[in-house]
Chains A and B, each alone.
Chain A
Amino acid sequence: MAVFVNGVIFDGVDTAAADAWRLDAYVARGGYQALRKILDSKLPQEDVIAEVKNSGLRGRGGAGFPTGLKWSFMPRSFPGDKYVVCNTDEGEPGTFKDRDILRFNPHALIEGMIIAGYAMGTKAGYNYIHGEVFAEYQRFEEALEEARKAGFLGQHILGTDFSFELYAHHGYGAYICGEETALLESLEGKKGQPRFKPPFPASFGLYGKPTTINNTESFASVPFIIRDGAQKFLEAGKPNNGGTKLFSVSGHVNRPGNYEIPLGTPFSTLLEMAGGMRDGKKLKAVIPGGSSAPILPAEIMMSCTMDYDSISKAGSMLGSGAVIVMNEDVCMIKALERLAYFYHEESCGQCTPCREGTGWLYRVIHRIANGEGRPGDLELLDSVGNNMAGRTICALADAAVFPVRSFTKHFRHEFEYAIEHGKTLVDHKWC
């Protein structure tokens, strides 16, 4: 189910119409005007980048890094090959927005990447698509073909000197391949394992060449910014949090789905849009930014607005915008056990603290969930987590630790109860 309100990316997209994703429909919605504008006016590369900077667009892949700034790191005068790469690996539990971009509006992404290619002087780009969304991958390939045929993509785009090739690549469903350098390794045909940074992709990326990696949603926001102007995008959100953002709402709500709303919208509004709590149950907690983001209890969450700054002030992260809503029937130990299992499975295994620590965390939490917790286990979890976070090559270890820290902080009594009584306080209801 997808609902879009006041969209930037989904502006005018009729998700019920079978052909809304096609080139014609996109062009009818004003698609590829941004690209024409750039090419017609021979807009200097710096100006494109400046526009993206001014829009306040922050990376939608999780870290929220300003996109325009990232683009400015690319050595524009570098003479050799350079690449732009789109990250559609979307493996984070709770996140399902990029899939809908490919499904309903793939040309927004294609146009965004072409503009990025123009701005950074690259001749080729790749879109790395999560291996388990194969139908969307196929649709994207079709959309690419449409764009090529129409002259938006390939050699001498729209008859100009500007050429840009874009290719789709599907992965095999490993979460770690969403980490940008693991993605590059995988794209090169190697095992998907993060690289140590520095060097950063902007100097040593795909095939060792300067590369910029952005999330699908980040790229897909660019055509609007160029067409309608940075100011308009910025105004759609709030200062330092420009634009609208896709939120993948899941969990105990009546209407789970993707919602594109202005940054700064109160969480309560988003919850209402999603139909409110299912079965009239009470809201217990929310993970506001995907499974790696710290969980927030209902009271805190209800006072937040949905933007980078507000969520961060509340002690969590906006992350990828995956909003996981939990009602009062959720046993927090069970919920955490599930998350811990995920990271234990998905660690790439190269760093000692992550390889060994994710399994350790999971086993201790599993024990507690099964009434076999021991005194000292919470301190143990805390200490193991401290030995992991910030000690590894990529942020997966941190992502595995954040939930543990936040669950045991906000719902400590549930853990203490289980350890003391050999059973959980909340009788978890699976639904």
Chain B
Amino acid sequence: MLEIEIDGKKLTVPQGSTVMDAAHSVGTYIPHFCYHKKLSIAANCRMCLVEVEKAPKPLPACATPVTDGMKVHTHSDMAKKAQAGVMEFLLINHPLDCPICDQGGECQLQDLAVGYGNSASRYQEEKRVVVGKDMGPLVSAEEMSRCIHCTRCVRFTEEIGGFQEIGMANRSEFSEILPFLGKTVDSEISGNVIDLCPVGALTSKPFRYSTRAWELSRRKSVSPHDGLGANLIVQVKGNQVMRVLPLENEDINECWIADRDRFSYEGLNSAERLQKPMIKHDGKWHEADWQTALEYVVKGLNGVSRDHGKDAIGVLASPHSTTEELFMVQKLARSFGVNNVDYRLRRSDFRADAAQQGALWLGSSIVELASAKSVLVVGSTQRQEQPLLASRLRQAVKKGSELNVIHVADDALLTKLNAKLIVSPQALVNALAQVLKAVVAIKSGESAIDLAAVTVSADAQRIADSLCGAETASVVLGNVAQHHPAFSELLSLAQEIARLSGARFGVLAEAANSVGAELVGAVPTRGVFGAAVSAGLNAQQMIAEPRKAYVLLNTEVEFDSYNPQAAVAAMKSAETVIALTAFKAEGLLDYADVLLPIAPFSETAGSFVNMEGRLQTFNGVVRPQGEARPAWKVLRVLGNMLGLSGFEYTSVEEVRAEWQGKGEIAPSLNNVLASVSANVQPAASALVRVGEVPLYQADAICRRASSLQATRAAAVPVAHAAQSVLDAAGVQSGAVVVLKQGEGQVRVALEADAALPAGVVRLATAHPTTIVLGGMFDPIEIKQG
């Protein structure tokens, strides 16, 4: 520990602290621009100059290491003069037209200029003009004359984003912040540069000039997208969400949010929002009042249950719904006698249900995962599924943790991997079994899984060595593993690896409330907190054995299902499809017959349980649009109208109290299966599809966010395959081919991709151009042009 005195305050700080760190720890503010606690030290803005006793000149607090006995003055004459001098330099070429700057009112330069600047300028020459840059649909770089060259944006893309999307070209005052020629700045988390930019140089393109910062109110919320549960500040004007910013939470999202969290709000205001209940009569849609629409629903459900029995009804709910909504929907179904309830629409393997003993979750906290010395990520298109977690794992690697990957594609993870096994989906189980076999050998352990047929590859050995050698280790299964037709086997293997190596294991929750859905029993085999229930059909069975009636909560099955082709067919064959939805979606208009407008997360109170099992509650930030109502209220009224008891809630808090009263979260989280099994032989080598969900197709809200839809990640998907696959099919890279699954086929360009293993064709699912196809990891055929 080192002793230091800052403005007369004595304190001790750990070795390696800077003067800035020390000042922060006693709440002393030192003005700064380039310094940011999560970025490397650039020490270029010079705003943080302070006086250090015995130093002949002022020193930058952000970059000056504390030495024992150091005495620092942040407000002395020397310090103040130095700071004022820097402020003058910053302002000489800065356009002082704050009234027309989008950053006005929330600009660090403006704020600090008031405190440290002069009222008149001694600079009489012409100010520099820097032409604007096109950084793509998310980040506006129109006002580059405002840039103060702090390079926060540059450092962010490189250090946190993982690769340089922004650079500073040229020298001297001709230095300019640029994207790379012809490139955009819209990788999965690049929007954070908007927050980082201390001035109005980089601003939010969708938000720009729509309103003034001081006209907005700030409300706390939680991201409804991936399973991380990023904390949000939602900014509101009138009754509209205008902007979304990160709310710092070191345990979850640190000070970042993904672009999906930031820009999805545009979807909330989309023209597709369903404003009124609608009923289809004779193939035509009509607006209806709530009473009529609910009576229609009740009649439909009663009719089907009378004619075909309760089992003819299926309930499919989105894990992007709130815990209260999911609790209510399963309660409504089960009270009515319907056991077919599931949230796992993209799952294809439910064999683990019988052995499952609790809610599937991460198996550790996010912080624990990020600080594990060795991590094995199985089947995850990480940057797409969990953009911020992927970044956090990259930071972990920089701090020395070993990242291992078993996956179906050699995606650019922008970090150093300790070892990787890239195999076709059919060999995924075998790959994980190799690791298990190596772990068994290292630990001289035993496994119930028969590993005799497994040959351990060098990379599997490295992974096993890494997991067994590390003090703390984690094995986590991503979306590809969870959607995979052998999920239960992968989970079994992960469990065995974890048991023998001492690692933790779990799943990377796909959606904001996957864990919540598990907890409140939005599954056919387990009730609230695992309570025993009469088993019903799971999501796949409800599709494979079509029901006569479906209740859809917050989902469009063509985008949200493992097999959209089958799901849509099932919907079309039903007598009634009742959709509780925030959007007048094209698909729903086609196969549903009644649409009930429900409020998205921003318009209702609720909660999400994130991947680490953390319950996060939030309130609505605006009133529901049009006649939309919070889904819990709709479900409550339906319960009343169906004559069910236990639906007398007057507030969402009552709903929450009820499910919370039935158990505790922590003890209910459990990934351990009562029995494990896996068939470790690689499956037959038919060509299979790798069909992941694109970054901005994951949920109903982001699908309608127009700026996100203009990014590179949202481009119409093309198919990719290894050269060997193209050769076997006799096609050139880039040729348009017909890809066929079941009854459906699409014409799409097929490009060679060295990142893919043999035997697969990668083509995204959940996209309007591919929803006629079948299962995400099922066989697929290539037919020439």
Interface residues of chain A, those whose CB is within 8 Å of chain B, are: 174, 176, 191, 196, 198, 344-353, 355-360, 363, 374, 380, 386-387, 390-393
Contact = CB atoms under 8 A, between A and B. Distances in A.
B173 A387 contact: no
A191 B176 CA distance: 13
A174 B44 CA distance: 19
B758 interface: no
Q: Which 9 A-B pairs have the closest CB atoms?
A: A387-B85, A349-B175, A356-B89, A390-B57, A196-B43, A350-B44, A347-B172, A359-B173, A363-B125
Contacts of A390: 56-58
A352 B47 CA distance: 9
A191 B177 CA distance: 13
Contacts of B125: 360, 363
Interface residues of B, number: 37
Contacts of B149: 349-350, 352, 355
Interface string B159-200: 000000001101111110000000000000000000000000
B contacts with A: majority SS: loop
Contacts, number: 94
Given A344-B173, A352-B47, 17 more contacts: A196-B41, A196-B63, A349-B175, A352-B86, A352-B90, A352-B148, A352-B149, A353-B46, A353-B86, A353-B89, A355-B172, A355-B175, A360-B89, A374-B124, A387-B88, A391-B46, A391-B82
Contacts of B56: 390
Contacts of A345: 171-172
18 contacts: A174-B171, A191-B168, A196-B41, A196-B42, A344-B172, A345-B171, A347-B172, A349-B175, A351-B44, A352-B45, A352-B89, A353-B46, A353-B85, A355-B172, A358-B173, A390-B56, A390-B58, A391-B58
B172 A392 contact: no
B92 A356 contact: yes
Contact of B171 (A176, A198, A353, A357): A176
B284 interface: no
Interface in B201-217: none
Residue from the set B42, B49, B85, B170 with the largest chain A CB neighbour count within 10 Å: B85
B93 interface: yes
B44 A393 contact: yes
Contacts of B90: 352, 356
Contacts of A356: 89-90, 92-93, 173
Nearest to B151: A350
A358 B88 contact: no
Residue from the set A347, A363, A387 with the largest chain B CB neighbour count within 10 Å: A387
A304 B93 CA distance: 43
Contacts of A352: 44-47, 86, 89-90, 148-149
Interface string B72-93: 0000000000100110111011
A359 B126 CA distance: 11
Contacts of B175: 348-350, 355
B37 interface: no
Residue from the set A191, A345, A346 with the largest chain B CB neighbour count within 10 Å: A191
A386 B149 CA distance: 21
Interface of B: 41-47, 49, 56-58, 60, 63, 65, 82, 85-86, 88-90, 92-93, 122-125, 148-149, 151, 167-168, 170-175
Contacts of B172: 344-349, 355, 358-359
A340 to B, nearest CB: 12
A149 B785 CA distance: 60
A134 B146 CA distance: 39
A349 B170 CA distance: 8
Contacts of A198: 65
A67 to B, nearest CB: 25
Nearest to B41: A196
Contacts of B93: 356, 359
Contacts of B60: 196
A176 B172 CA distance: 10
A350 B88 CA distance: 16
A351 B49 CA distance: 12
B113 to A, nearest CB: 13
Given A357-B89, A390-B57, A391-B58, A348 B49 contact: no
A402 B174 CA distance: 23
A66 to B, nearest CB: 21
B16 to A, nearest CB: 12
Nearest to B93: A356
A349 B148 contact: no
A393 B90 CA distance: 16
A355 B174 CA distance: 9
Nearest to A343: B172
A349 B174 contact: yes
Contacts of A355: 89, 149, 172-173, 175
Contacts of B86: 352-353, 387, 391
A422 to B, nearest CB: 16
A176 to B, nearest CB: 7
Contact of A391 (B49, B123, B171): B49
Contacts of A350: 42, 44, 149, 151, 168, 175
A15 to B, nearest CB: 35
A393 B43 contact: yes
Nearest to B175: A349
A285 B149 CA distance: 38
Contacts of B45: 351-352
A356 B92 CA distance: 8
A351 B46 contact: yes
Nearest to A356: B89
A349 B154 CA distance: 14
Contacts of A349: 149, 168, 170-175
A191 B124 CA distance: 32
Contact of A346 (B82, B167, B168, B171): B171
Nearest to A345: B172
Residue from the set A174, A356, A358, A392 with the largest chain B CB neighbour count within 10 Å: A356
A128 to B, nearest CB: 18
Contacts of B124: 374
Contacts of B57: 390-391
Residue from the set A174, A198, A355, A358 with the largest chain B CB neighbour count within 10 Å: A355
A21 to B, nearest CB: 34
A75 B173 CA distance: 38
A193 to B, nearest CB: 8
Given A350-B44, A350-B149, A390-B57, A360 B171 contact: no
Contacts of B168: 191, 349-350
A303 B60 CA distance: 40
A392 B46 contact: yes
Nearest to B126: A363
Nearest to B169: A191
A194 B194 CA distance: 26
Contacts of A392: 46
A156 B41 CA distance: 41
A178 to B, nearest CB: 13
Contacts of A359: 93, 172-173
Nearest to B62: A196
A401 to B, nearest CB: 13
A360 B123 CA distance: 8
Nearest to B125: A363
B377 to A, nearest CB: 28
Contacts of B47: 352
Nearest to B82: A391
Contacts of A346: 171-172
Contacts of A374: 124
Residue from the set B46, B57, B122, B124 with the largest chain A CB neighbour count within 10 Å: B46
B92 A360 contact: yes
A427 B417 CA distance: 68
Nearest to B167: A191
A360 B126 CA distance: 10
A344 B63 CA distance: 25
Nearest to A376: B122
A390 to B, nearest CB: 4
